[in-house]
C-alpha cells in the first residue's frame, strides 16, 4: 500500500469519525484575539499540516526541524499529512457542501489554481496573515497575489521558487541557451531529454516556459485568460512539443510521472537534462550523494518562471490557533534561513534582508548555496512571473488533447 493510499485512508477515517483529540478545544473563535492570546490558546495542541509529500528532504525538514522547534518553542505537536493539494482542496469542498464545521485539516501548503479554487469555494479561513508578527519581515507587495489571484490575507508566504534546468558538466560542456537551441539539441540527441507528465507541477511549469518562449513572451498573458489569444498562440506551443516528441526518452510514448522519477533518470545517466522548480535542488542532490559534484544548473535566455508558495488555514480547521502559530513560525528568520540551506531543503526565503536585524542577516550570510546553484543575481536577471491561474486548465487540458493523445 502506497504512502498516498495510507494518508488517504487516514483522512477518510478522520472525516467519518471526526476529531477526538485535544485540538478540538482550540477551535473556538480567534477572530477577536490578539496574537499573544492565540499563541497561549494553541499551547499543548496538535496541528495537522497537509502538504505535498513527494520530497523526502522536505518531509524530513518538516518532521525534524519544524516539529522539534514547534514543540520546544510552543509545546505544539506538528503532524504532517502527505496529500496532493488538489486532493485536500476537494476534501474541503466536500466538507463545505456537507456542512461539516469541524474537519481534520489545520494548515495547508498551497498555491496557484488550488488556492484560487479554495478561495472561490469558500473553504479557507481568513484573513489571518496580518495577525502574524513575522509578516513584518515580508515585502507585502511581493506576496500580494498567487498566480495572479489576490491573496487578501488568506495565505501567509512560505517560500520562493524559480524554474531551472540541470546538467552534468562532465558530459555536456555547453548546454543550450534558448528554447530554439534546446529543440535542436533534443532532435540531434534522441532519447536524452524528457519532462514530467502534466499535470505534474514541474511538467506543467515546463509547458508554461515553452509557451512564453515560442509565443512572444509572458506579458501578453498577464491579464487573465483570453480565449481568442489562446486560440491564436496555443498552436505554437503544441507545434514545439510535438516536433520534439518523437525524440524524447522512450520516443515520447511515456514520460516520468513526477520530478522524483526524472531525478532518477538523470542520476542514472539515462537523460542528459533535468529540471526543477527549485534553484538549489541540484546542490541538495549533490550533498546527499545522489548527483556527482559536476552537476550544474542553468536558465534559458527567454526567462525563468518564479513564484511564491504559501500556507493557508482550512475554514473548518479544528485548531486555527495552532495553525496560525505554525504559519508564523515558518515565516520566522530562523526557519527561513534553516530551510534556505541546501543541506536542509534549499527553499528560497520570502523575508527581505533589509527588514532583518544584523543577527538574523548573519544566519542567511552563513548559508552556502554551493557551486551547482546559480547566483541570486543571475536568477533575478532572468526571472519572469508565473502565468495567472486562469490559464492553467487550458494549458494542461490542451496538452492532454494536442500532445499526449497525438500519435
Q: Hey, what domains does the chain have and what are their CATH numbers?
A: 3-160+308-373 (3.40.190.10), 162-306+380-404 (3.40.190.10)
Distance CA 157, CA 141 (A): 11
Distance CA 97, CA 18 (A): 16
Dihedral, 173, 186, 208, 237 alpha carbons, nearest 10: 150
What pLDDT, on a 0 to 100 scale, did the predictor assign at position 54?
Answer: 86
CB 267 within 8 A of CB 291: yes
- The whole-model pTM stands at 0.87
Distance CA 250, CA 245 (A): 10
58-110 tens-digit pLDDT: 999 999 999 999 999 999 999 999 999 999 999 999 999 999 999 999 999 99
Asked if pLDDT for residue 10 goes beyond 80, the answer is no
* Average pLDDT of the chain to the nearest whole number: 92
Cis peptide before 199 (omega within 30 of 0): yes
Q: By C-alpha distance, which of 216, 198, 215 is closest to 207? A: 198
Q: In sequence order, what are the residues at sequence separation of 6 or more whose Cβ sits closer than 8 angstroms to the Cβ of residue 119?
A: 149, 154
Assign 28 a pLDDT band (cuts: 50, 70, 90): low
327-361 tens-digit pLDDT: 999 999 999 999 999 999 999 999 999 999 999 99
CB 135 within 8 A of CB 348: no
For residue 398, CA distances in Å to 7, 58, 237, 337, 346 come to 31, 31, 10, 39, 33
- The DSSP bridge partners found for residue 385 are 306
Please tell me whether residue 193 adopts helix, strand or coil conformation.
coil
Amino acid at each position: 500500500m502506497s504512502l498516498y493510499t495510507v494518508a488517504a485512508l487516514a483522512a477518510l477515517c478522520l472525516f467519518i469519525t471526526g476529531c477526538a483529540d485535544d485540538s478540538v478545544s482550540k477551535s473556538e473563535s480567534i477572530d477577536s484575539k490578539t496574537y499573544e492570546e492565540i499563541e497561549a490558546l494553541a499551547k499543548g495542541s496538535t496541528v495537522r499540516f497537509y502538504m505535498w509529500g513527494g520530497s523526502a528532504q522536505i518531509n524530513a525538514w518538516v518532521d525534524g526541524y519544524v516539529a522539534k522547534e514547534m514543540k520546544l518553542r510552543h509545546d505544539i505537536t506538528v503532524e504532517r499529512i502527505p496529500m496532493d493539494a488538489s486532493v485536500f482542496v476537494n476534501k474541503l469542498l466536500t466538507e463545505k457542501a456537507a456542512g461539516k464545521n469541524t474537519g481534520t485539516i489545520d494548515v495547508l501548503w498551497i498555491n496557484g489554481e488550488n488556492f484560487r479554487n479554495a478561495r472561490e469555494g469558500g473553504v479557507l479561513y481568513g484573513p489571518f496573515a496580518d495577525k502574524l508578527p513575522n509578516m513584518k519581515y515580508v515585502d507585502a507587495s511581493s506576496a500580494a497575489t498567487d498566480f495572479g489571484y489576490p491573496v487578501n490575507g488568506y495565505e501567509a508566504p512560505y517560500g520562493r521558487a524559480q524554474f531551472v534546468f540541470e546538467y552534468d558538466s562532465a558530459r555536456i560542456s555547453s548546454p543550450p541557451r534558448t528554447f530554439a537551441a534546446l529543440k535542436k539539441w533534443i532532435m540531434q540527441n534522441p532519447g536524452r531529454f524528457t519532462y514530467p507528465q502534466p499535470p505534474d507541477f514541474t511538467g506543467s511549469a515546463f509547458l508554461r516556459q515553452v509557451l512564453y518562449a515560442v509565443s512572444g513572451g509572458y506579458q501578453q498573458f498577464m491579464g487573465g485568460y483570453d480565449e481568442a489569444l489562446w486560440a491564436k498562440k496555443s498552436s505554437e506551443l503544441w507545434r514545439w512539443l510535438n516536433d520534439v516528441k518523437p525524440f524524447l526518452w522512450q520516443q515520447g510514448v511515456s514520460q516520468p510521472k513526477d520530478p522524483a522519477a526524472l531525478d532518477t533518470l538523470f542520476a542514472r545517466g539515462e537523460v542528459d537534462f533535468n529540471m526543477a522548480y527549485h534553484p538549489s535542488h541540484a546542490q541538495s542532490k549533490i550533498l546527499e550523494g545522489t548527483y556527482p559534484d559536476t552537476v550544474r544548473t542553468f536558465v534559458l535566455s527567454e526567462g525563468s518562471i518564479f513564484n511564491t508558495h504559501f500556507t493557508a488555514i482550512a475554514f473548518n480547521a479544528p485548531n486555527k490557533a495552532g495553525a496560525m502559530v505554525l504559519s508564523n513560525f515558518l515565516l520566522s528568520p530562523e526557519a527561513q534561513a534553516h530551510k534556505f540551506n541546501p543541506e536542509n531543503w534549499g527553499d528560497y526565503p520570502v523575508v527581505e534582508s533589509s527588514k532583518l536585524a544584523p543577527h538574523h542577516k548573519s544566519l542567511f550570510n552563513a548559508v552556502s548555496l554551493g557551486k551547482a546553484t546559480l547566483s541570486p543575481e543571475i536568477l533575478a536577471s532572468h526571472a519572469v512571473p508565473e502565468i495567472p491561474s486562469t490559464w492553467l486548465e487550458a494549458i494542461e487540458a490542451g496538452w492532454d488533447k494536442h500532445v499526449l493523445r497525438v500519435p
